Amino acid sequence: MEVEREITVPSGPDEVWDSLTEAERLEEWFANEVELDPREGGRGVFRWADGDERAATVRELEPERRIVLDWDDGGYVSIELETVEDGTRVRVVETAPDFASALELHACAWAAVA
């Protein structure tokens, strides 16, 4: 099970790459607090304002092309860049975490529904 999203950003892949790999830049769009060691095998910790926290290991890193993070709670997120006429196409694929973790993560939001 995976979610796939694509967007075109009006700047070059070098600029977008910085936004994907520098902690300070990641804090502008991905999470509220970021620690990331941007190299293969490097660790990342991401914290959000709602108290959620996820840690990951960098599985693949190809500058200005592709970064893949394996989440500690299962699943991965892959972000690929491609130069296009009006900027850089960013393609994200995120796979589901281990089923139990997914249930736990979303139990609060969905408790009212079940």
Binding interface with other proteins (CB under 8 A): 1, 3, 5, 7-11, 15-16, 19, 25, 28-30, 87, 90, 92, 94, 96, 99, 102-103, 106, 109-110, 112-114
Q: Which amino acid, residue 105?
A: L
Instruction: Rank residues 10 and 41 by Cβ distance to other proteins and give the closer one.
Output: 10
Instruction: Rank residues 16 and 68 by Cβ distance to other proteins and give the closer one.
Output: 16
Encoding tokens for residue 2?
Answer: 């995976």
Instruction: Rank residues 51 and 114 by Cβ distance to other proteins and give the closer one.
Output: 114
Q: Which amino acid, residue 45?
A: V
In Å, what is the CA distance from 28 to each residue of 23, 31, 92? 9, 7, 17
Q: In angstroms, what is the minimal distance from the CB of 94 to other proteins?
A: 6
Q: In angstroms, what is the minimal distance from the CB of 69 to other proteins?
A: 14
Instruction: Rank residues 41 and 50 by Cβ distance to other proteins and give the closer one.
Output: 50
**Beta 43-47 vs 53-62: how paired, if at all?**
antiparallel
Q: List the 43-47 sheet strands across, edge first.
A: 2-9, 87-95, 76-84, 66-71, 53-62, 43-47, 33-36
